[in-house]
Structure 1
Amino acid sequence: MSIVLRFFMTLAVVSLLSFSADAVGSAGTLAISFGTNTVCGISATTLPRTVYCMNISESGSTLPYQVYPNVSIDSVSAGTAFFCGLKSSRRVFFCWNGDLVTRKRVYRGPWVLSDLIVGKTQVSAVDRSSNGIRWWRNAGLFPSSVLGSYNSLTSGNNFTCAITTNGTVNCWGPLARAMQAGFSNYSMTNIVAGESHMCGLEISGFVICQGSNSSGQSYAPPGLPNEYTRFALGSSHTCAIQQPIGTAVCWGGSKGPHLYTPLNGTAFEFLVAGGNLTCGLTSNNYSVLCWGSDWRNVSVRALPLLRILPGICVAGGSDECTCGAYPESPSLCADTGVICQRCDFPNSIAPVPPDLRSESERIGKIRKVEVIVGTLCFVFGACGLAYSVWIIYCRRKAQNQNQIRPPVDPASGDNSSADSSIAVRSPSSESDGTDDGFYSPNPETSQFIFSPISSRIGIPRKLELERQRSGPSTFNYEHDS
């Protein structure tokens, strides 16, 4: 029953979480500011590690240009109309607009920072010196700081979220309650925000997506544990890297719900998204390929940026990395640090803490029970429904034929014609056993409708929605001033 309840609860909030802005996300070495049609990345071929940007508008793209050519930048993140980069000293970060005539801003402080994230307009970072999170440009919608140990910091349109040490998702901002509620029953290992939805992996390795689902961007495809990793979320779509091949898979999109693979056979290190645009860093030569969210007409474009770092260079050796370091780290980081291998890649699975391991085992048992119960309910429900319809059909047919049967002469005692007139053909003569049907999303209402592909009773295919959780039915939403 829990699977059925989750399905209908998810449908109930489909239309409650639709907003307008441009996607944001998490810190890395490549970022997209869709509001300015600009892509920026940290070069892997220059020292210091500087940022190269280029405008990719259809009216006229620019050649790559440097930002802060004499400053070494560790990570970049982008919002609607500007970028921010964290300096290698971790105590200073720079922000600039996505154009050549850029207005630059510098923020200095005594704190040691990491995970510098840009939301729609807010800027946040993990404060490693005082163990907490800090915000800048928060427009009074976010706290100036909060204390606590957090990881996987990410930001969207009017919300910022992070994961506590026990896997709980905490959120801040006008949409905090709505986003946090969707993950209240899960222990998460990572999360990534888009414009108005968020996806991540729970401790058992399954994909959880919550938030806006106007184009099916929060309906994750079914898969094995840890099959989908390294998410990139736009305004109406979600992309992820599918293991073990490393190809990009996307769902949702500007043309409605759909699952598509933009580039079969191309392996990516990671993906980033902004608005309707997604870019990926290829594994073979660290080049950048980009595509739109229109799955009916996927056009891939190679950007003439220099080789981009496949990850953030961190000070220290491979001992600093839980799941090991990239083999090319010495050359990529110029012996100033290492790039840590992501733990969500094959053969790089981080050890699970004992408390979360027990939680994972509990969740796994619950899932097995839910699947068994749901399957039995579905099978017996379908059989019972088919039997009931068959009985009704037989009775109605018998009644109709009884109404037209000729009168029988009592004296003759011959009722053979009447017997033959109400004979019922066997079920095998009425059905070829190919009953089928499917559920498909309605792009206009964002709800699922049943579409039978025969005139007989269709049995819907199993929907992998047990990992979907609904948020509250109502919430307040405010625009930045």
Structure 2
Amino acid sequence: MSIMLGLFTTLAVLPFLFFSTDAVGSVGTLAISLGTSTVCGISAYTFPRIIYCTNISESVPTSPYQIYPNVSFDYLSASTAFLCGLKSRKRVIFCWNGNPVNTKQVYRGPWVLSDISVGETHVSAIDHSTNEIRWWSNAGLFPSSVLGNYSSLTSGKNFTCAISSNGKVTCWGPLSSAMQYSFSKYSMTTIVAGDSHMCGLDTSGFVICKGSNSLGQSYSPPGLPYDYTRFALGSSHTCAIKQPKATAVCWGGSNGAHLYTPLNDTSFEFLVAAGNITCGLASAEASILCWGSDWRTVSVRTLSLPKILPGICVAEGSDECKCGFFPNSGNLCAGVGVICQQCDSLWIQQLLHPELFPLPSESKRWKVEDLVGLVFLFVGACGITFSLSIILFRKEDLRK
């Protein structure tokens, strides 16, 4: 029994060696505003990084149009009524209602912002210059700012939530109390909000969904740790990327919590959702594919957008990329920055499926060294645990 207890303890600690340092959060280069029938994305391979939008209400795809063609953007987010973009250098926020003529400058100033998140009546962002979350809202339902070290900022209809440095979920706004209480028992690494529900991964890698569950949108699918990552939540459905092949899996919507896979053989880099629509960036073609939340009549549509960035471009010398760089990220960012590789399940998947998850060339050397080191660390810990267990077992026999 001592041996089994020692091995169990070592295995229980293993996920924290791989996943305790990084939250996943939302990608932020594609956004849907269903109320304005608009999908927008930040272009790849170009600088400035231009926002391209297209109307999705038409049966025939419309030609994409640009938002501020001479301005470079880093982040995108949207609500039902409007979309917002954070300009590169992170000191200006622009918003629009789907019409490129109706743009408004929400903020221009000295604060260095990131993780812009748009709700029904508000815009929020993390201010790195003062270590605060800041809000812009006409309704007066949110504080102007809150001090603290937060990550995974996300917004629903009447709430904004984020993860504090100790893994606890903190929320603000009219629905903040109920949402925060529903996650009070969990330590989270990532959260993503829909209209009135929220999903994410706890520190053990399991899916936690809370909030409204009228149509099964807050169902938490069973599986192994880190089976489901990179969530996208609509008004009454949830989608996620399922490992190891990065396929899209959804549940909820008009037919309840039934799990369905809209495209069985398509791998995605990320997903976004709004209302009853989900869109994703396909890994192979780099195209944007969209579908509805009714699993009985899934119809997939390809949007007429140019190549969209698979992640946020950060400075090449940035210390944000703890899991290496996305393949070809230098070219994707047009030589002005790189894209961080997502950390969710990367290490475990490289151990189990190296043929499906090759190491990025930019960071291959140090990743191999670290990976080998972690494997030897794990083996050494098992050996020490085994030896201690044998010693204890023998002492128990001598006492008898």
TM tier relative to shorter chain? 0.7 to 0.9
Please show how residues 194-209 of structure 1 align to structure 2 within 5 Å: 194-209=194-209
Residues 101 and 92 (structure 1), Cα distance of their counterparts in 2 relative to 1, 3 Å cut: closer
Q: Map Cα deviations across residues 140-182 of structure 1 (whole Å, 9 max, x no partner).
A: 1000000000000000010000000110000000000000011
Q: Supply the AA of the counterpart residue of 1:292.
A: G
Match of 1:105 in 2: 105
Displacement of 1:100 in angstroms is 4.4
Please show how residues 305-324 of structure 1 align to structure 2 within 5 Å: 305-317=305-317, 319-324=319-324
RMSD: 1.8
User: Structure 1 residue 69 and structure 2 residue 69: aligned?
Assistant: yes
Q: Distance in 2 between matches of 1:180 and 1:229?
A: 21
Q: Distance in 1 between matches of 2:161 and 2:41?
A: 24
Q: For 2:35, what is the secondary structure of its paired residue?
A: helix
Match of 1:429 in 2: none
Moved more, 141-150 or 42-51: 42-51
Q: For 1:273, what is the secondary structure of its paired residue?
A: strand
Q: Distance in 2 between matches of 1:51 and 1:192?
A: 23
Given that 2:251 and 2:257 are in contact with CA atoms closer than 8 Å, whether structure 1 keeps it comes out as yes
Match of 1:51 in 2: 51
Given that 1:26 and 1:118 are in contact with CA atoms closer than 8 Å, whether structure 2 keeps it comes out as no
Moved more, 248-257 or 64-73: 248-257
Displacement of 1:315 in angstroms is 1.1
Q: Supply the AA of the counterpart residue of 2:193.
A: A
Displacement of 1:60 in angstroms is 6.2
Residues 179 and 49 (structure 1), Cα distance of their counterparts in 2 relative to 1, 3 Å cut: same
Q: Map Cα deviations across residues 288-316 of structure 1 (whole Å, 9 max, x no partner).
A: 00000011100000011101000000113
What is the TM-score of this pair, normalised by structure 2? 0.79
Please show how residues 326-341 of structure 1 align to structure 2 within 5 Å: 326-341=326-341
User: Structure 1 residue 120 and structure 2 residue 117: aligned?
Assistant: no
User: Structure 1 residue 86 and structure 2 residue 83: aligned?
Assistant: no
Q: Map Cα deviations across residues 52-98 of structure 1 (whole Å, 9 max, x no partner).
A: 00011046653100001000000100011111111111111111111
Q: Distance in 2 between matches of 1:212 and 1:163?
A: 20
Q: Distance in 2 between matches of 1:271 and 1:223?
A: 20
Given that 1:277 and 1:290 are in contact with CA atoms closer than 8 Å, whether structure 2 keeps it comes out as yes
Detail structure 1 runs of 4+ shifted over 4 Å in the superposition: 348-351
Q: For 1:296, what is the secondary structure of its paired residue?
A: helix
Match of 2:253 in 1: 253
Match of 2:35 in 1: 35
Q: Distance in 1 between matches of 2:348 and 2:65?
A: 36
Displacement of 1:105 in angstroms is 2.7
Match of 2:275 in 1: 275
Displacement of 1:348 in angstroms is 7.1
Given that 2:71 and 2:87 are in contact with CA atoms closer than 8 Å, whether structure 1 keeps it comes out as yes
Given that 1:311 and 1:339 are in contact with CA atoms closer than 8 Å, whether structure 2 keeps it comes out as yes
Residues 27 and 74 (structure 1), Cα distance of their counterparts in 2 relative to 1, 3 Å cut: same
Displacement of 1:26 in angstroms is 4.6
Displacement of 1:106 in angstroms is 4.3
Q: For 1:174, what is the secondary structure of its paired residue?
A: coil
Match of 1:294 in 2: 294
Q: What number of residue pairs does the alignment pair up?
A: 327
Given that 2:43 and 2:306 are in contact with CA atoms closer than 8 Å, whether structure 1 keeps it comes out as yes
Q: Supply the AA of the counterpart residue of 2:95.
A: C
Displacement of 1:40 in angstroms is 0.1
Q: Map Cα deviations across residues 255-279 of structure 1 (whole Å, 9 max, x no partner).
A: 3331110000100000000000000
Stretches of structure 1 that go unaligned for 5 or more consecutive residues are 1-24, 352-481
Q: Supply the AA of the counterpart residue of 2:104.
A: K
Q: Distance in 2 between matches of 1:275 and 1:119?
A: 13
Given that 2:31 and 2:78 are in contact with CA atoms closer than 8 Å, whether structure 1 keeps it comes out as yes
Max Rg structure? 1
Q: Map Cα deviations across residues 313-350 of structure 1 (whole Å, 9 max, x no partner).
A: 01133643111111211101122211001111432799
Q: Distance in 2 between matches of 1:29 and 1:91?
A: 17
Displacement of 1:248 in angstroms is 0.2
Q: For 1:114, what is the secondary structure of its paired residue?
A: strand
Q: Supply the AA of the counterpart residue of 1:183.
A: F
Q: Distance in 1 between matches of 2:314 and 2:135?
A: 23
Residues 162 and 61 (structure 1), Cα distance of their counterparts in 2 relative to 1, 3 Å cut: same
Please show how residues 73-222 of structure 1 align to structure 2 within 5 Å: 73-222=73-222
Q: Distance in 1 between matches of 2:306 and 2:137?
A: 31
Q: Supply the AA of the counterpart residue of 1:288.
A: I
Residues 123 and 39 (structure 1), Cα distance of their counterparts in 2 relative to 1, 3 Å cut: same
Match of 2:379 in 1: none
Q: For 2:103, what is the secondary structure of its paired residue?
A: coil
What is the TM-score of this pair, normalised by structure 1? 0.66
Q: Supply the AA of the counterpart residue of 1:326.
A: F
Q: Map Cα deviations across residues 180-211 of structure 1 (whole Å, 9 max, x no partner).
A: 01110111000000000000000000000000
Displacement of 1:138 in angstroms is 4.8
Q: Supply the AA of the counterpart residue of 1:89.
A: R
Given that 1:323 and 1:348 are in contact with CA atoms closer than 8 Å, whether structure 2 keeps it comes out as no
Residues 246 and 263 (structure 1), Cα distance of their counterparts in 2 relative to 1, 3 Å cut: same
Given that 1:123 and 1:138 are in contact with CA atoms closer than 8 Å, whether structure 2 keeps it comes out as no
Displacement of 1:227 in angstroms is 0.4
